[in-house]
Amino acid sequence: MGLKSKLHNFKEKNRGKKWLPAFSAIHTFLFLPNDTTHGGTHIKAADDLKRTMNTVIMAMIPCLIFGMFNAGYQHHLALGEIQSVTQGFFSPEFWTMDNFLVGFWKILPLVIVSYGVGLGIEFIFAIIKGHEVEEGYLVTGMLVPLIVPVDIPLWMLAVAVVFGVVIGKEIFGGTGMNILNPALTIRAFLFFAYPTWMSGDKVWVHGAVERSKEIAAGANLDAISGETILGSLAQGQQPDYSISEMFLGFIPGSVGETSALLILLGGLFLIFTKIGSWRIMLSSVLGAIVMGLIFNVIVDAGIISEGSKFFGLMNTTWWHHLIIGGFAFGTVFMATDPVTASQTNKGKWIYGFLVGFISILIRVFNPAYPEGVMLAILLMNVFAPTIDHYVVRGNVRKRMKRLKVKTV
């Protein structure tokens, strides 16, 4: 075993050097370390943080690959070069090499920038603070390319990642200590710093922004429109996509958020592996359903007129909310982040329910930006410690009561 002993000797020789965590990060990526237990349990279970994070990434890979095909598909469809899919999920029009390559060359740079910048910062902080590189960014780095528009300029992404990792995570003490979900902090930064790149009907399809610039410059071309379903609904228009297209994911949107089917499979995988919290996912869906139903009742009762700017989204059948926009992706992959979610089992029910509930609330009442799940999760991230506090107080009160019964 040449490599194994060479790396081991290198590690031993440089023990105590400041930059060793950077080497260790790569070393432990190749080899499970040779650490043995000291002074506690003499045996340990198989799972470590790397395995946990890796499981989440595996659940996202189908969304990433689908996103690559979809980017090419939406691009070609908008240009009128191909017809929309007709034969369900495995439509040959969709799964073409051409579609894939368009998406691959657009999305691969997003992945590289996300990981390159984010991990770079993690390495620097690990060296400065003298601890090992923690694995938190492995998941964040994969989430980020999946929740941005495909054409987002790479420098914006880089700036946002710097902001998200430094302000969202490192100043709180790094992995495990942050209040806000770092991936959503990055997205929120992009959304407020560069709103024209994060909303509207131009950014969701590759080539649309470029085309509108060419038109503005005087070129005689047809404009590409790539309105998301939520965008259309917010403007009171019915989107031209069928329910099955929405569910399967052949719609414009952020890179990885479109296919509710694959997100559902990813969610089931996370629940099966016990890595993702089923409590949060289920209660979030329940919360969204309740809010959706409330709005449907309001519409049915005639409280709101058809002319209202909220009518389109309020009138959306309650279960459609679950498969359009970023709700499914946020619920499965972002709301379940164990660090920023509620940490008690009871708290997870409350937290998840409110995430779903508020997502739909913001979605309906904010026509300028009809995507509520990001803000709902960030808001609930802030409230999660408070929820936990009251859940834990309940346990403490039970103990106090026991004492009182005794002394009486």
- Residues forming the site for other proteins (CB under 8 A): 4, 7-8, 28-52, 54-55, 132, 134-136, 173-177, 272-275, 277, 279, 338-339, 341, 343-345, 348, 388, 392, 395-396, 398-400, 402-403, 406
Q: Which is nearer to other proteins, 289 or 392 (by Cβ)?
A: 392
What's the min distance (Å) between Cβ of 166 and other proteins? 17
Q: Which is nearer to other proteins, 228 or 277 (by Cβ)?
A: 277
Place of tokens 């390159």: 116
Whole-angstrom Cα distance, residue 263 to residue 231? 21
**CA separation (Å) from 188 to 199, 268, 373, 390?**
12, 27, 11, 28
Place of tokens 């780095």: 141
Structural tokens at position 368: 């300028």
What's the min distance (Å) between Cβ of 394 and other proteins? 10
What's the min distance (Å) between Cβ of 148 and other proteins? 25
Whole-angstrom Cα distance, residue 18 to residue 117? 21
Q: Which is nearer to other proteins, 174 or 239 (by Cβ)?
A: 174
Q: Which is nearer to other proteins, 142 or 323 (by Cβ)?
A: 142
Whole-angstrom Cα distance, residue 300 to residue 321? 17
The Cβ of residue 13 has, within 10 Å, a number of other Cβ atoms equal to: 8
Q: Which is nearer to other proteins, 43 or 219 (by Cβ)?
A: 43
What's the min distance (Å) between Cβ of 377 and other proteins? 16
**CA separation (Å) from 277 to 99, 155, 246, 304, 331?**
34, 34, 25, 37, 10
What's the min distance (Å) between Cβ of 351 and other proteins? 11
Structural tokens at position 65: 């690959």
The Cβ of residue 274 has, within 10 Å, a number of other Cβ atoms equal to: 11
**CA separation (Å) from 120 to 109, 138, 144?**
16, 12, 15
Within 8 A by CB and 6+ apart from 35, the residues are none
Whole-angstrom Cα distance, residue 317 to residue 296? 7
Q: Which is nearer to other proteins, 245 or 388 (by Cβ)?
A: 388
Most distant CA pair in the chain: distance in Å? 88
The dihedrals phi and psi of 84, each to the nearest 5 degrees, come to -70, 160
Q: Which is nearer to other proteins, 49 or 382 (by Cβ)?
A: 49
What's the min distance (Å) between Cβ of 391 and other proteins? 8
Q: Which is nearer to other proteins, 227 or 388 (by Cβ)?
A: 388
What's the min distance (Å) between Cβ of 156 and other proteins? 29
- Asked if residues 373 and 333 have their Cβ atoms less than 8 Å apart, the reply is no
What's the min distance (Å) between Cβ of 406 and other proteins? 6
